[in-house]
Structure 1
Amino acid sequence: MLQQTITEVVRGGLIVSCQAPPDSPLAAPEIIKAMAQAAVLRGAVAVRINTPEHIRAVRQGVNVPIIGLWKQVLPETPVYITPRFADAMAVAAAGADVIALDATERSRPEPLAPLIERIHTELGKLVMADIDSVASAAAAVSAGADWVATTLFGYTEATAAETPPSWELLTALVQTLSVPILCEGGIASPAMAAKALALGAHAVVVGTAITGIDRQVEVYRQALRSE
């Protein structure tokens, strides 16, 4: 699928993140594939999938764009979303159309700009930069990122005290950057997703509120225990 076509396909649409904790029964590739198929059947314009194994399974079941990533916990860096070119290469080989990676301004195993350049030139894939601030978003765009997503707001050391989504961050990104801005993180209702689009988001990514059974059960259980 042509890069510009992918960007247009997802415009104004819902992207569903189909993931599960490694220790969950839902983490079986066939179940992740079924989640993705159900999401697409009901109108998702794309899916976001973690690990090459899951991407390969999902690629066999859907014909919409796959935003692929590979979460890797490395001892020398807090960056864990597709931190190295080798990870991006594995994600691309598995069938992803877009490579999502951590583009926050934290210490990383490989410099961001050369990483994005290699993804473009050697893999021929779009890059979705997961950021946590206007500064990291601007740096990611300068480094060559094709899309910017608010994925990591609230999940980095600098933003840990904040609760996503940040409408202020989304608005600032839309107003200051020329690339598509995707709203991801903390979208817990259809009304919130609609608000993100109204504020100028190119598309909206929803995960936990739709596919996060493990996390949703934990939240309900905790609420009931607190009563």
Structure 2
Amino acid sequence: MRTKQEVHEAIRNKVVVSCQALADEPLHSAFIMGRMAYAAFLGGASGIRANSVVDIREIKKTVDLPIIGIIKQDYEGSEVYITPTMKEVDALCEEGVDIIAIDATIRMRPDGMTIKEAFPIIRAKYPNQLFMADCSNFEEAKLASELGFDYIGSTMAGYTPYTEGRVLPALDLIERMVKELDAPVIAEGGISTPEELRAVLDLGVHAAVVGSAITRPMEITKRFIAAAYK
């Protein structure tokens, strides 16, 4: 297992590739995600973001890169689905991932707690685990930094009801996070071109995550088709 410092340095100023496919998507398969991660590794990725224990386990067989692990799980009555309860945190810790990403929005969690109430409990149980906060606006990012998250992400910008429709990547939000927060920032969400990636890295983020633009061929095809038949 890598030390915290080794993980930190491995992704510093680097690109993490998100390799995910949900159950209703054509590439939904742990084996395929493992090969996708290997392709990302060969292409120069310095880390992988992955969803579910089964995918993470397969990816570990193919690449030796730091993994940002999540478990997407829907619970009735809550909009929070990225590592939403202690059950998912426990599973990721048991599997052994370098960084665990958690929805850190202000929305009520399935367990009836806010992130302000939930994270201190998680941190107390796993004091040596690295955690990333998936946030949608600056207020959430500031709170996450104050709560002691190791990394702050812009992941949820545009994906909460109160940020819906914002332009992505959220350069203004990311820039403010870098300038005003103590915790390292991981830019994620809507980075669709190499030029956008360069613009994000130039803001001084610790790392950047690129997903759909690399690893979701169905979505990439849709973009090309939309442009072709305007």
The bucket for the TM-score relative to the shorter chain is over 0.9
What's the Cα RMSD here? 1.6
**1:26-62 per-position Cα deviation (integer Å, ceiling 9, x unaligned):** 1111110011111112211100001111111112221
Structure 1 residue aligned with 2:185, among 160, 181, 185? 181
**1:105-134 per-position Cα deviation (integer Å, ceiling 9, x unaligned):** 111134424543454443432111010111
Q: Identity percentage over the alignment?
A: 36
Q: Does 1:69 align with 2:64?
A: no
Distance (whole Å) between structure 2 residues aligned to residue 21 and residue 50 of structure 1 = 9
Question: What's 2:26 paired with?
Answer: 25
Structure 2's unaligned 5+ residue stretches are none
Equivalent AA in structure 2 for residue 126 of structure 1: L
Contact 1:68 1:92 in 2 (8 A): no
Q: Does 1:86 align with 2:90?
A: no
Q: Report SS of the residue matched to 2:27.
A: helix
Structure 1's unaligned 5+ residue stretches are none
Contact 1:120 1:126 in 2 (8 A): no
Contact 1:184 1:205 in 2 (8 A): yes
**1:44-102 per-position Cα deviation (integer Å, ceiling 9, x unaligned):** 11000011111111122211110000111111211110011110111222231110011
Distance (whole Å) between structure 1 residues aligned to residue 224 and residue 74 of structure 2 = 28
Mapping 1:35-114, distance limit 5 Å: 35-109=36-110, 110-113=113-116
Larger mean Cα displacement after TM superposition, 57-66 or 168-177:
57-66
What number of residue pairs does the alignment pair up? Answer: 226
Q: Does 1:206 align with 2:210?
A: yes
Larger mean Cα displacement after TM superposition, 105-114 or 53-62:
105-114
**1:185-215 per-position Cα deviation (integer Å, ceiling 9, x unaligned):** 1111111111111111111100000001121
Contact 2:106 2:115 in 1 (8 A): no
